[in-house]
Amino acid sequence: MATGADVRDILELGGVESENTGTINKKDIINSDKKKSKKSSETLTFKRPEGMHREVYALLYSDKKDAPPLLPSDTTQGYRTVKAKLGSKKVRPWKWMPFTNPARKDGAMFYHWRRAAEEGKDYPFARFNKTVQVPVYSEQEYQMYLHDDAWTKAETDHLFDLARRFDLRFVVIHDRYDHQQFKKRSVEDLKERYYHICAKLANIRAAPGTDLKIPVFDAGHERRRKEQLERLYNRTPEQVAEEEYLIQELRKIETRKKEREKRTQDLQKLITAADTTTEQRRAERKAPKKKLPQKKETEKPAVPETAGIKFPDFKSAGVTLRSQRMKLPSSVGQKKIKALEQMLMELGVDLNPMPTEEIVQMFNELRSDLVLLYELKQAFANCEYELQMLRHRYEALAKAGSIGPLSAEGAHPDGQAGLGIEEGKGDAKDQIIDVVGAPLTPNSRK
């Protein structure tokens, strides 16, 4: 037979009294939830392993050891069934009552459920019934200000009557317009007539000195817009493909133009840097040798940052090695570093000289000038390659017969300089200019 200890183990009960007596008490059954909570709080909590995200660990384990959720839930009591929270207040009664909609003019009666306390109040959705205020004119105002030879008064009255009925929905007004009794009108004609009368009445009835917001409708612009839209809609697939091709070509031309402008700016910067460096060297040679090196640094002219190499200044507090000033900055690429080392080896200069104050300064200046020389040679090679490419292109066009031949000096036989492009051949000139931005570049010279 099962003993009290077996029953206690099955029900997960415990306690001093039950353990001592070996029997089940009333308190053990009533207070079983409290004992379970105490027992669960006393259990050891497992720590999240290092490197595992909190969300992943929450799916594997929780404090209550519940299974991970299968559906999203916003309850605060875990994943158990939530009981209904019933208040002690009295339920407000609902009543099936009639109501009328103020937007309807036929007095139709409808029914709906509503709280008994709201009986007799207005329909809550009546505030959304917004109507357009269409102006009203008299017979005298029409004869004095609104008369138009193309419109009769009966036709104008019919237009304003439809505008009030359909809240200025001119497409519906045009559909309901009496084209049999009156002249056939388009939507733009109806809009133009309506807004013209509104503007006239606003000017007549406005008090002197007030700023008016007069509605203006441009019927011609609206007709052209619809005509353009219709042409756009009626395009053939071939025309759509041609337009897309032209747009792509235009983007390519703009991209090549930006590249040419950027290369021109870079080349101008290199030329300016070379001129500035040359003037600086001449000034140093003419200056007396008794000047201190510190004064030389303060009197140096401003050199563009793109000229050569810009070495960092070690002005921070602390001990630094003088050889650190000879270290090339990270902005210099590996290609330039290899070219610089090759030029130094050709000149017979040690790559790591003794870092005295004078040697460090002169060595950095030498490497900066060598890098500037390397960039100038590379820019010259690119320009020479583009010139050759333009010349071949020109020769191909000359063979085709679109432009005249070139002379040996690159000029026309009649003495005109340059590539010899005639003024009347604008298309050929545009074609030649476009080729300048080709992505091909020659191998860089070291």
- In sequence order, what are the beta bridge partners of 236? none
Q: For residue 301, what are the contacts with CB-CB under 8 A and spacing of at least 6?
A: 276, 279, 280, 283
Give per-residue pLDDT as tens, 217-261.
999 999 999 999 999 999 999 999 999 999 999 999 999 999 988
More confident: 263 or 410: 263
Q: For residue 243, what are the contacts with CB-CB under 8 A and spacing of at least 6?
A: 235
The whole-number pLDDT of residue 97 equals 93
**pTM score of the predicted model:** 0.44
Burial of residue 269 (CB within 10 Å: 0-12, 13-18, 19+) is middle
Question: Which of 397, 380, 409 has the alpha carbon at shortest distance from 435?
Answer: 397
**Do you know the residue count of the chain?**
446
Backbone angles phi, psi at 110, to 5 degrees: -125, 170
Give per-residue pLDDT as tens, 125-158.
888 888 888 999 999 999 999 998 999 999 999 9
